[in-house]
Chains A and B, each alone.
Chain A
Amino acid sequence: MVSDAKPKLAVWKFTSCDGCQLSLLDCEEELLPLAKEVEIANFREASRAVIKGPYALSLVEGSVTTAEEVERIQHIRSVSKRVVTIGACATAGGIQALRNFKDVQEFSALVYASPQYIETLSTSTPIAQHITVDFELQGCPINKRQLLEVITAYLHDIKPTIPAYSVCVECKQRGTICVMVAHGTPCLGPVTHAGCGALCPAYNRGCYGCYGPKETPNLVSLSRQCRHMGMSTDQIRRELQTFNAYAEPFRRESLSYEK
């Protein structure tokens, strides 16, 4: 049977909001062509049907925050030829990695009426901290074009074209006026990974770094400039401690402002 020859694609969820998986569903026009090329073997957000592994490509969304997840990610690795992590949670720990800077018990006590029922690790960690990952697709949420690019590349056994340069490149390519220079609005674009198409500056606001760090980011210089533009050190710390707070360059810089 022809369909048996199709590579199997699986989508796995860890601790996350489901937004990145949704990007796959968002590929409305490309979903049918995708279903022609791959067998969608495990994608709970789209179908309850689960086809057994091994899988040619596993897309992993979410971070590791429980003991169960520590085990489960090992299993997924063992049944997958390629593992691609998608989104800020999977690649950097996500917004829930804010616990890594504080005491998670305190958070639980504040949020839940009966915190004694909460079983959780004290940290939220990226998938690559637990297993070998073939490719990390950054973004909160990821860009669906980039997701298709990654899937297509793995289907055809070529390197995905996902440039790791700054958001500024995309900003200038689309002719946007730099908000940092022309409006005096602080912007994380110069240290942030491209991929969104420089969305925020195009709407007159600074980039807030939802795609995480770019290659060779210079946080020290950019935050010096942000201070010069009137941001307080606490504002800078908060700006860096969002979806990608635990990504090493952002973490190191924000921690330098912790009292």
Chain B
Amino acid sequence: MHSSPSINDQLIMQCEQFEQLLQRLQQREYHVLGPTVRNQAIVYDTLTSIADLPKGYTDEQDGGSYRLKQRHDDAFFGYAVGPHSWKQFLHPPITRIWRAKRDGSSFHIAKEDKGIPKYAFIGVRSCELHAIAIQDRVFLQGACTDPGYQERRQDLFIVAINCGQAGGTCFCASMQTGPRATFGYDLALTEIVDTRQHFFVVHIGTELGAEMMDGLVCQQASPDDLQRDEQIVACTAQTMGRQMATSPVELKGLLARNLEHPRWEEVAGRCLSCTNCTMVCPTCFCTTVEDVIDLAGEETERVRKWDSCFNLDFSYLYGGSVRASAKSRYRQWMTHKLSTWYDQFGSSGCVGCGRCITWCPVAIDITEEVRAIYDSEQKE
């Protein structure tokens, strides 16, 4: 007898059914996005089938270094997060907010025809679920919400993946944001691959998730399967490439107490103010708006672009930039992420994904910077 799957069910899905799941999402008019190899890195882009996934690839990550490598098996998700994050779809780098045309001495605003696709994200990591939840708070909570974000976000279908290995710069375990997906997904997968078999344990998170699995030939997961699932994720948690010196809540006070620490000056000597750390960070949300007008002054448009607290104009007030020194800009970034974010949004702004460490051209490491300040307090 066929019984329909429901929330909290745990199923076994073979690769064939995984393919069927992707096809089904496409049939339901989802724009399916997920990891794929481009230009020697694993990026997020359109998936048409599971053949587009980085099967058999992994990455080696360290401060300022990322290398794509071959695995010894056919795992689809055997790597950590790469240069891209889901932010680029939910909070795109460049968006036109409105256009206006002159109309005599007045003007009228042309409505944007949105045409926002319905997204399905495949392979969302636990740290990224936390990052999406953080951006949800930024854009959707409180009096002012972002209608564009709202629209892109509301129909999102999320297939999470529980990490089967930690990257060289991952530290979700110490930020309490991973490596197991615990909320915010429609389906969460754990990939099990060895010489004899290759399948997924599927955790159903929502009604919609259950509906998507309905009719795919899947068995209930056995206690053995679930135990393997547990072991894999526990092992990931124990092999984090990086670790924060103390808990997220402690970090808040630690940095607040050390705004004049000599370490800020030291890191400013290395920091390029290049903005890479903020651009790759899945929670950084700052933007600037640029007005573009045509030569005749007949048409204008307002464009929103990702901005960064490392840019001088970011803190420009009449007469100059408030944060003119690299020291004040780096300090702003790190204390916002780890400390003042709590005051603003009620949580840490860092999910321990490690991107800022890997993609900093000069290998500045947020965990190392924290440790330097932490250690100096221990010595006192």
A interface residues with partner B (beta carbon < 8 Å): 30, 33-34, 36-37, 148-149, 151-152, 155-156, 158, 161, 163-166, 168-169, 172-175, 177-178, 180-184, 187, 189-191, 204, 215-218, 220-222, 224-225
Residues of A within 8 A of B313 (CB): 163-165
Interface residues in B43-102 by Cβ distance below 8 A to A read: 43, 64-68, 83-84, 88, 93-94
Given the interface contacts A173-B279, A204-B39, does A181 sit within 8 Å of B358 by beta carbon? Answer: yes
Residues of B within 8 A of A182 (CB): 39-41, 66-68, 83
Instruction: Return the contact of A172 from the options B39, B68, B306, B363 (Cβ within 8 A).
Output: B306
Residues of A within 8 A of B362 (CB): 190, 221-222, 224-225
B216 within 8 A of A: no
B307 CB → nearest A CB, Å: 8
A contact patch SS: helix
Cα separation A221 to B273 with both chains bound (whole Å)? 11
Cα separation A163 to B311 with both chains bound (whole Å)? 9
Instruction: Return the contact of B295 from the options A151, A168, A216, A224 (Cβ within 8 A).
Output: A151
Contact with A along B265-300 (1 / 0, CB 8 A): 000011111111001100000000011111111000
Instruction: Return the contact of B272 from the options A36, A155, A164, A191 (Cβ within 8 A).
Output: A191
Instruction: Return the contact of B39 from the options A148, A156, A177 (Cβ within 8 A).
Output: A177
Residues of A within 8 A of B296 (CB): 33, 36-37
The answer to whether B358 and A216 touch across the interface, beta carbons within 8 angstroms, is no
Instruction: Return the contact of A166 from the options B39, B275, B358 (Cβ within 8 A).
Output: B275
The answer to whether A152 and B293 touch across the interface, beta carbons within 8 angstroms, is yes
The answer to whether B271 and A164 touch across the interface, beta carbons within 8 angstroms, is no
Query: Could you name 27 residue pairs across A and B whose Cβ atoms are closer than 8 Å?
Result: A33-B295, A36-B295, A37-B295, A148-B295, A151-B295, A152-B295, A161-B290, A161-B291, A161-B292, A165-B275, A166-B274, A168-B361, A169-B308, A173-B305, A174-B93, A178-B66, A181-B359, A181-B361, A182-B39, A189-B361, A190-B361, A190-B362, A191-B274, A221-B272, A222-B361, A225-B362, A225-B363
The answer to whether B279 and A168 touch across the interface, beta carbons within 8 angstroms, is yes
Cα separation A150 to B269 with both chains bound (whole Å)? 34
A32 CB → nearest B CB, Å: 10
B312 within 8 A of A: yes
Count: A-B pairs, CB below 8 Å: 130
**Known pairs A33-B296, A181-B64. 5 more at Cβ < 8 A?**
A169-B311, A172-B280, A175-B43, A177-B41, A222-B361
B356 CB → nearest A CB, Å: 11
Cα separation A191 to B274 with both chains bound (whole Å)? 7
Cα separation A152 to B292 with both chains bound (whole Å)? 9
Residues of B within 8 A of A34 (CB): 295
B118 CB → nearest A CB, Å: 21
What is the chain A residue whose CB lies nearest that of B59?
Answer: A182
> What's the tally of chain B residues with a CB closer than 8 Å to chain A?
47
Cα separation A180 to B83 with both chains bound (whole Å)? 12
Residues of B within 8 A of A224 (CB): 362
The answer to whether A183 and B40 touch across the interface, beta carbons within 8 angstroms, is yes
Interface residues in B16-59 by Cβ distance below 8 A to A read: 38-41, 43
Given the interface contacts A163-B313, A177-B43, does A155 sit within 8 Å of B276 by beta carbon? Answer: no
The answer to whether A178 and B294 touch across the interface, beta carbons within 8 angstroms, is no
The answer to whether B84 and A175 touch across the interface, beta carbons within 8 angstroms, is yes
Residues of B within 8 A of A33 (CB): 294-296
The answer to whether B312 and A215 touch across the interface, beta carbons within 8 angstroms, is yes
A177, A181, A190, most chain B CB atoms within 10 A: A181
Residues of B within 8 A of A183 (CB): 40
The answer to whether B274 and A190 touch across the interface, beta carbons within 8 angstroms, is yes
B328 CB → nearest A CB, Å: 11
Cα separation A245 to B18 with both chains bound (whole Å)? 56
Residues of B within 8 A of A168 (CB): 274-276, 279, 361
What is the chain B residue whose CB lies nearest that of A220?
Answer: B269
The answer to whether B66 and A181 touch across the interface, beta carbons within 8 angstroms, is yes
Residues of B within 8 A of A152 (CB): 293-295
Given the interface contacts A161-B292, A172-B280, does A166 sit within 8 Å of B83 by beta carbon? Answer: no
Contact with A along B335-359 (1 / 0, CB 8 A): 0000000000000000000000011
Cα separation A158 to B52 with both chains bound (whole Å)? 48
The answer to whether B361 and A180 touch across the interface, beta carbons within 8 angstroms, is yes
Cα separation A161 to B316 with both chains bound (whole Å)? 14
Residues of B within 8 A of A204 (CB): 39
Cα separation A243 to B295 with both chains bound (whole Å)? 30
Lowest 8 A-B CB distances belong to which pairs? A172-B279, A190-B274, A173-B93, A190-B272, A168-B274, A165-B311, A177-B41, A177-B39
A168, A174, A204, A217, most chain B CB atoms within 10 A: A168
Given the interface contacts A155-B295, A173-B305, does A181 sit within 8 Å of B65 by beta carbon? Answer: yes
B326 within 8 A of A: yes
Instruction: Return the contact of A222 from the options B43, B272, B290, B291 (Cβ within 8 A).
Output: B272
What is the chain B residue whose CB lies nearest that of A173?
Answer: B93
Cα separation A182 to B271 with both chains bound (whole Å)? 19
Given the interface contacts A151-B295, A165-B311, A182-B67, does A189 sit within 8 Å of B274 by beta carbon? Answer: yes
The answer to whether A177 and B295 touch across the interface, beta carbons within 8 angstroms, is no
Residues of A within 8 A of B310 (CB): 165
Residues of A within 8 A of B359 (CB): 178, 181
What is the chain A residue whose CB lies nearest that of B39?
Answer: A177
Cα separation A174 to B65 with both chains bound (whole Å)? 20
What is the chain A residue whose CB lies nearest that of B274?
Answer: A190
The answer to whether B275 and A177 touch across the interface, beta carbons within 8 angstroms, is no
What is the chain A residue whose CB lies nearest that of B311?
Answer: A165
Instruction: Return the contact of A221 from the options B41, B269, B308 (Cβ within 8 A).
Output: B269
Residues of B within 8 A of A166 (CB): 272-275
Residues of A within 8 A of B280 (CB): 172
A185 CB → nearest B CB, Å: 11
What is the chain A residue whose CB lies nearest that of B325?
Answer: A216
What is the chain B residue whose CB lies nearest that of A35?
Answer: B295
